Amino acid sequence: MINILAVMFYLAIGFVLCRVKAFPKNSSEILNLMVIYVALPALILEKFPLITFDSSILVPALSPWLMLLISVLTVLFFNKILKFQKEVLGCLLLVIPLGNTSFLGIPMIEGLLGAKAVSYAIIYDQVGSFMALSIYGSAIVAIFSKDQTSFSLLKALKKIVSFPPFISLMIALIFKFIIPAPKELNSIFAILGGMLVPIAMISVGFQFKGSFEKKDLPLISGALLLKMIVFPLILFVILRGIGRITLPEATSILEAGMPPQITAGAVAMSMGLAPKLAAALVGCGILFSFISLPLLKYTLGF
């Protein structure tokens, strides 16, 4: 419980500080860079070598891709019925399938399931959400953007291999299988990785926007209900049908219930894909996650 209260406290700090004139308007961007270039890579370097490579990692590695498929098919199904405008469809296809599995996901997973679950959350995020954003997200932007830029798999792959957390993942593999990292270095990784939760959540608080147009309320409510309640329940039913729910499965289910990804929302806004709707889905999703994620955890008995 104390971990969840700490996450909410960090969020509140960011929400307050963004209204303090002494802080530049781009403070959240600087904090995001700290997460991407320092805290998250350090956390990966600390936690990933500790992962036991067995069948348990298959669930967090494959679940995000299953959720991506289910999300896309669901959005396209409702598009057949409701006939969304092209920019709205592009926004939903970009924002709904991609979850906030890193900035919000890792702190929330640690708070709800404990530190041992963080390793599985990293796998879910790096193998799933990040690669999906780079490849699938680039394709959606190319299809729906007003600029009509062509999708390039090569550019998407370049984004992946040059992304600091991915580079740290490759180094962590070396530490895992070839040369173990010195204990002193692991201590440094632990200190730097420990910054991820406060920095990420303060950044989220800086960016938080809960405003939306009233006409979009039914769409926002329905989209978030599907993304944060229905989809993780579908994954729960699938995994429960296969076997019992252990820590890797519980981590994957809660990660599947994370709100829309901040980066995906930012991309949608910058590309003119229903920017107000994208902002509302991200902001309201973050707020709703403090209710939906504990509800999923305790309802499903994790």
CB neighbours of 60 closer than 8 A, spacing ≥ 6?
120, 121, 123, 124, 127, 128, 248, 251, 252, 255
Question: For residue 155, is pLDDT > 80?
Answer: no
Residue 260 one-letter amino acid = P
What would the pLDDT profile of 76-112 be if each residue is shown by its tens digit?
Answer: 999 999 999 999 999 999 999 999 898 788 889 988 9
Q: At what angle do helices 247-256 and 231-242 cross, to 10 degrees?
A: 160
- 284 in Cβ contact with 212 (< 8 Å): yes
Domain 2-14+27-203+215-292: give its CATH architecture.
Answer: Up-down Bundle (1.20)
Identify which has the larger pLDDT, 91 or 11. Answer: 91
The first and second tokens of residue 57, run together, are 């990692």
What would the pLDDT profile of 94-103 be if each residue is shown by its tens digit?
Answer: 999 999 898 7
The confidence score (pLDDT) of residue 211 equals: 59
Reported as a pLDDT band with limits 50, 70 and 90, residue 147 is low
Question: For residue 240, is pLDDT > 80?
Answer: yes
Domain boundaries in the chain?
Answer: 2-14+27-203+215-292
What would the pLDDT profile of 206-229 be if each residue is shown by its tens digit?
Answer: 866 655 677 888 999 999 999 999
- State which H helix or E strand residue 155 sits in: helix 153-161
Question: For residue 153, is pLDDT > 90?
Answer: no
- 138 in Cβ contact with 11 (< 8 Å): no
Q: At what angle do helices 247-256 and 105-113 cross, to 10 degrees?
A: 140
Q: What is the mean pLDDT of residues 29-46?
A: 86
CB neighbours of 203 closer than 8 A, spacing ≥ 6?
14, 28, 31, 32, 35, 103
- 46 in Cβ contact with 183 (< 8 Å): no
Average pLDDT of the chain?
A: 87
Report the C-alpha gap between 176 and 193 in whole angstroms: 18
What would the pLDDT profile of 255-299 be if each residue is shown by its tens digit?
Answer: 999 999 877 887 787 778 888 888 889 888 988 998 999 999 999
Question: For residue 239, is pLDDT > 60?
Answer: yes
CA distances, 13 to each of 7, 40, 128, 200, 206 (Å): 10, 20, 30, 11, 8
Report which of 74, 84, 72, 68 is spatially closest to residue 274, judged by C-alpha positions: 84
The single-letter DSSP state of residue 99 is B
CA distances, 267 to each of 42, 173, 275 (Å): 26, 30, 9
Beta bridge partners of 260: 99
- 103 in Cβ contact with 286 (< 8 Å): no
Gyration radius from the chain CA atoms: 19
- 110 in Cβ contact with 46 (< 8 Å): no
What three-state secondary structure class fits 210?
A: coil
The confidence score (pLDDT) of residue 111 equals: 87
The confidence score (pLDDT) of residue 162 equals: 82
Determine if the pTM surpasses 0.75. Answer: yes
Reported as a pLDDT band with limits 50, 70 and 90, residue 134 is confident
The confidence score (pLDDT) of residue 149 equals: 59
The confidence score (pLDDT) of residue 68 equals: 95
Report the C-alpha gap between 213 and 276 in whole angstroms: 8
